[in-house]
């Protein structure tokens, strides 16, 4: 492990600034910390509003990630109160967290780490804690303690696995005087991770680097990592993925995002002859079960996985300290020799976190199994305790309902601008993952975040459109919602000057491409766990065409009929198809300031008056259209199909 500490980058002279910097150094190394894992602290004075100096512990707060933590992410607590709590014989974790919340010197600070009392006890000003891959590779074997002693000798205190919280702090308090010496630079918690400490965070970080480096050298000599070569697995058939996602979502009782991974590292793991045995042993550290469940699903027998999970719950339910609510029994990780690694979650972020964790899990499992005497995880009872921890159950009870479209996947055409972009934004705002198709090359940058996949594609190219659909299914697991917003207007041309080439171009994009899309997307919509939902962006020009717009008006009429036929044909599959007819939506690429001014002048109106030239005297915006589209894609319209809804402020020619 390389020491990355640079004094000039610390960003402050005080102990807390140094702790922030050191925390970020270990937080940015995914071989040490993943997604909110690990914690750090520093003991320093807190000066209250009266000027009184209070000896305090600044400890990482809940909800903060070490990779990006800032000073407000550390919670100051009075040291004397923490040490007093440690004098108790017993203390339930829920009571401990209540006491810690009441002791905060800054009431606006986040809830402190559940390992706060352990940090308070350790007799050093600065502490760093990680879940380093190389440490758990050494501990998760039959004789983990002996192996740690071989690597580190007397330089570390070794603590058997105890669930984080009050009980762990008490065990450390008992073991520390028995094992610690003047040469002690760290502490290893079996099946958990590494603590290092020092007079400063710089010292604690340096010791982390030194101990991790020793572990790396030992493993390099005794347990070399397997080299992976090749191109990975063949890409699975998209429909196979969508059908599996549907089955898993049914077991979960809610739609799930599912991401597919088939690279060579994944291939090397899933092709192991001992996959069924090895992958069933358990996670690297118990806190992973919250993200990945105890074991992955091996293969595709969803019903069996559900039965096995229910049996696991029933075997261990008696361990709960309070009344428990069984979590959904659906897998969060799937390993399959043909499909590769699949990860699931109610959000794309959750599925991606599960993927990150399991990518770190696979090489540790293989390394320990092949070179260190065999991988051994904690027994299922300890893992159950973590998965059904009082604190986690309390979080579930406090959590509100997820966004209404959480776990669903939408495809939006014409998503880089105008109505299409607004629809994509509205759907993501309601919790959906969105794959946006557009001719624009920068569609991938239209939105930030994991819930967005932008694909530059010419929708009039049927093959390219199919490839984009397959990419969406590989990324998100399926398709539940389709919004057809891509379209072109063409030049205003009277019929007397009919241009066959321009006519064909408009029909190709506005009608032919949609027919091709419908043919390709139907199987995915038919196996949607929530029932397929399609919303087509029509136009006022369908019921009320205008002169010079024959190609556009005819294409929108054909598109509307296409949607009506789809509604008739797809209803038995639970797919609903509805059309909206916007008019005078001026915040799109079709309208420039000059064109608006020209049209307004023609009607002897101001631009604002022209924008509101409808019965309700209201401006119709892309966002208003998108709001109706998103509502049609929600459960509010679960009994509506084949509908046509104007969004035009009221038009005399239509009404």
Write phi, then psi, for 101 (nearest 5 degrees). Answer: -60, -40
Query: Judging by DSSP bridges, how do beta strands 409-413 and 340-345 pair with one another?
Result: unpaired
Instruction: Write out the E strands in 97-236.
Output: 126-130, 156-159, 186-189, 193-198
pLDDT band, very low/low/confident/very high, at 231 (cuts 50, 70, 90)? low
pLDDT band, very low/low/confident/very high, at 595 (cuts 50, 70, 90)? confident
* Of 561, 211, 585, 654, residue with least CA distance to 423: 585
Write phi, then psi, for 330 (nearest 5 degrees). Answer: -80, 145
* Tokens of residue 309, six digits: 């999970």
pLDDT for the residue numbered 12: 84
Whole-number Å distance between alpha carbons of 95 and 495: 79
Bridge partner residues of 93 (DSSP) = none
Provide the 3-class DSSP secondary structure of residue 333: strand
Superfamily of domain 7-222, CATH level 4: Class II aldolase/adducin N-terminal domain (3.40.225.10)
Give the H or E element holding residue 646. strand 644-647
pLDDT band, very low/low/confident/very high, at 266 (cuts 50, 70, 90)? very high
- What secondary structure letter does DSSP report for 141? B
In degrees, rounded to 5, the angle at the alpha carbon of residue 287 between the alpha carbons of residues 282 and 293 is 50
pLDDT for the residue numbered 226: 72
* Tokens of residue 569, six digits: 């044909």
Whole-number Å distance between alpha carbons of 8 and 542: 66
Asked if domains 7-222 and 238-398 share a fold, the reply is yes
Whole-number Å distance between alpha carbons of 625 and 328: 36
Tell me which residues are annotated as active site: 552
* Of 625, 627, 617, 623, residue with least CA distance to 647: 625
Domain spans in the chain, listed from the N-terminal domain onward: 7-222, 238-398, 409-585+620-647
- Give me the architecture of the 238-398 domain, per CATH: 3-Layer(aba) Sandwich (3.40)
Whole-number Å distance between alpha carbons of 651 and 614: 6
Q: CA–CA distance from 125 to each of 29, 115, 174 (Å)?
A: 23, 15, 20
Cβ contacts of 177 within 8 Å, gap of 6 or more: none
pLDDT for the residue numbered 321: 81
pLDDT single digits (tens) 309-348: 999 999 999 998 888 889 999 999 999 999 999 999 999 9
Contact 480, 535 (CB under 8 A): no
pLDDT for the residue numbered 380: 95
* Of 529, 530, 523, 537, residue with least CA distance to 570: 523
As a whole number, mean pLDDT of residues 21-28 equals 97
pLDDT for the residue numbered 13: 86
- What secondary structure letter does DSSP report for 237? P
Provide the 3-class DSSP secondary structure of residue 81: helix
pLDDT single digits (tens) 388-408: 988 877 666 666 789 999 999
* Of 382, 387, 394, 258, residue with least CA distance to 328: 387
* Phi-psi domain of 572 (left: phi exceeds 0; alpha: psi -120 through 50; beta: other): alpha
> What mean pLDDT is reported for the chain?
95
pLDDT for the residue numbered 277: 97
Strand order in the sheet with 340-345: 257-261, 340-345, 333-336, 297-298
Helices (H) and strands (E) in the chain, counts: 24, 18
pLDDT for the residue numbered 224: 87
Residue 523 has pLDDT above 70, yes or no: yes
Q: CA–CA distance from 502 to each of 499, 507, 509 (Å)?
A: 5, 9, 11
Q: For the chain, what percentages of helix, strand and coil (3-state, to nearest 5) are there?
A: 45, 15, 40
Contact 444, 224 (CB under 8 A): no
pLDDT for the residue numbered 395: 65
Contact 588, 485 (CB under 8 A): no
Whole-number Å distance between alpha carbons of 396 and 388: 10
Task: Determine the distance from the C-alpha atom of residue 579 to the mean position of all C-alpha atoms in its chain, rounded to a whole number.
Answer: 32
Contact 258, 244 (CB under 8 A): yes
Residue 145 has pLDDT above 80, yes or no: yes
Cβ contacts of 557 within 8 Å, gap of 6 or more: 542, 545
Cβ contacts of 615 within 8 Å, gap of 6 or more: 649, 650, 651, 652, 655
Listed range (342-346, 578-582, 609-613) with the worst mean pLDDT = 609-613
Domain 409-585+620-647 has CATH 3.40.50.720: yes
As a whole number, mean pLDDT of residues 175-188 equals 96
pLDDT band, very low/low/confident/very high, at 185 (cuts 50, 70, 90)? very high
- Say if residue 180 is exposed, middle or buried (CB neighbours under 10 Å; 0-12, 13-18, 19+): middle
Provide the 3-class DSSP secondary structure of residue 452: strand
Listed range (204-213, 389-398, 456-465, 625-634) with the worst mean pLDDT = 389-398
pLDDT for the residue numbered 230: 66
The full DSSP string for 21-62 is HHHHHHHT-TTT--TT--EEEEEEEEE-TTS-EEEEEEEEBT
The full DSSP string for 484-531 is E--------B-GGG--HHHHHHHHIIIIIHHHHHHHHHHHHHHT-TT-
Place of tokens 């969004």: 647
pLDDT for the residue numbered 217: 96
pLDDT band, very low/low/confident/very high, at 167 (cuts 50, 70, 90)? very high
Q: What percent of the chain has pLDDT over 70?
A: 98
Decide: pTM greater than 0.75: yes
Q: CA–CA distance from 8 to each of 4, 11, 73, 74 (Å)?
A: 12, 7, 22, 22
């Amino acid at each position: 492990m390389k020491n990355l500490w640079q004094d000039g980058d610390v960003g402050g002279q005080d102990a807390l600034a140094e702790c922030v910097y050191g925390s970020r150094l270990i937080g940015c190394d995914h071989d040490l910390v993943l997604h909110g894992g690990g914690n750090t602290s520093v003991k320093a004075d807190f000066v209250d509003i009266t000027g009184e100096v209070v000896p305090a512990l600044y400890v990482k707060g809940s909800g903060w990630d070490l990779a990006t933590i800032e000073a407000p992410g550390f919670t100051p607590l009075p040291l004397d109160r923490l040490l007093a709590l440690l004098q108790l014989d017993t203390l339930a974790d829920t009571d401990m967290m209540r006491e810690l919340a009441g002791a905060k010197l800054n009431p606006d600070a986040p809830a402190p780490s559940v390992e706060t009392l352990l940090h308070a006890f350790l007799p050093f000003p600065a502490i760093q804690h990680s879940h380093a891959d190389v440490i758990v590779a050494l501990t998760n074997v039959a004789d983990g303690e002996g192996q740690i002693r071989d690597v580190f000798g007397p330089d570390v205190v070794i603590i058997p696995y105890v669930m984080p919280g009050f009980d762990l702090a008490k065990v450390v308090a008992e073991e520390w005087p028995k094992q610690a010496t003047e040469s002690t630079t760290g502490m290893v918690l079996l099946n958990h991770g590494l603590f290092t400490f020092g007079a400063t965070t710089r010292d604690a970080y340096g010791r982390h680097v030194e101990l991790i480096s020793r572990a790396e050298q030992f493993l390099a000599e005794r347990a070399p990592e397997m080299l992976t070569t090749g191109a990975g697995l063949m890409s699975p058939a998209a429909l196979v993925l969508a059908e599996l996602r549907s089955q898993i979502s049914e077991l979960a009782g809610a739609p799930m995002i599912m991401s597919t991974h088939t690279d060579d590292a994944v291939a090397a793991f899933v092709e192991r002859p001992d996959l069924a045995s090895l992958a069933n042993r358990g996670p690297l550290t118990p806190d992973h079960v919250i993200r990945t469940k105890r074991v992955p699903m091996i293969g595709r027998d969803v019903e069996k996985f559900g039965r096995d999970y229910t049996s696991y719950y029933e075997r261990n339910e008696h361990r709960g300290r309070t009344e428990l609510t069984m979590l959904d029994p659906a897998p969060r990780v799937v390993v399959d020799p043909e499909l590769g690694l699949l990860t699931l979650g109610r959000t794309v972020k959750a599925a991606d976190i599960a993927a990150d964790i399991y990518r770190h899990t696979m090489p540790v499992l293989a390394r320990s199994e092949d070179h260190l005497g065999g991988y051994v995880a904690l027994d299922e009872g300890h893992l159950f305790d973590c998965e059904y921890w009082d604190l986690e159950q309390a979080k579930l009870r406090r959590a509100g309902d997820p966004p209404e479209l959480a776990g669903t996947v939408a495809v939006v055409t014409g998503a880089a601008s105008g109505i299409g972009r607004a629809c994509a934004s509205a759907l993501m705002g309601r919790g959906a993952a969105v794959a946006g198709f557009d001719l624009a090359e920068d569609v991938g940058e239209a939105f930030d975040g994991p819930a967005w996949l932008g694909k530059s594609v010419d929708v009039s190219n049927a093959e390219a459109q199919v490839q984009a659909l397959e990419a969406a299914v590989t990324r998100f697991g399926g398709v539940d919602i389709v919004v057809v917003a891509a379209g072109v207007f063409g030049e205003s041309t009277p019929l007397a000057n009919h241009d066959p080439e321009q006519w064909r171009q408009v029909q190709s994009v506005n009608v032919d491409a949609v027919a091709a899309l419908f043919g390709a997307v139907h199987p995915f919509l038919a196996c949607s766990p929530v029932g397929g939902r399609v919303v087509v962006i029509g136009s006022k020009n369908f019921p009320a065409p205008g002169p010079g717009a024959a190609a556009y008006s005819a294409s929108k009429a054909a598109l509307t009929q296409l949607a009506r036929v789809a509604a008739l044909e797809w209803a038995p599959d639970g797919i609903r198809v509805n059309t909206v007819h916007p008019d005078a939506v001026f915040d799109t690429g079709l309208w420039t300031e000059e064109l608006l001014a020209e049209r307004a002048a023609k009607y002897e109106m101001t631009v604002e008056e022209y924008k509101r030239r409808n019965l309700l005297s209201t401006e119709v915006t892309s966002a208003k259209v998108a709001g109706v589209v998103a509502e049609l894609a929600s459960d509010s319209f679960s009994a509506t199909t084949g509908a046509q809804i104007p969004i035009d402020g009221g038009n005399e020619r239509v009404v």
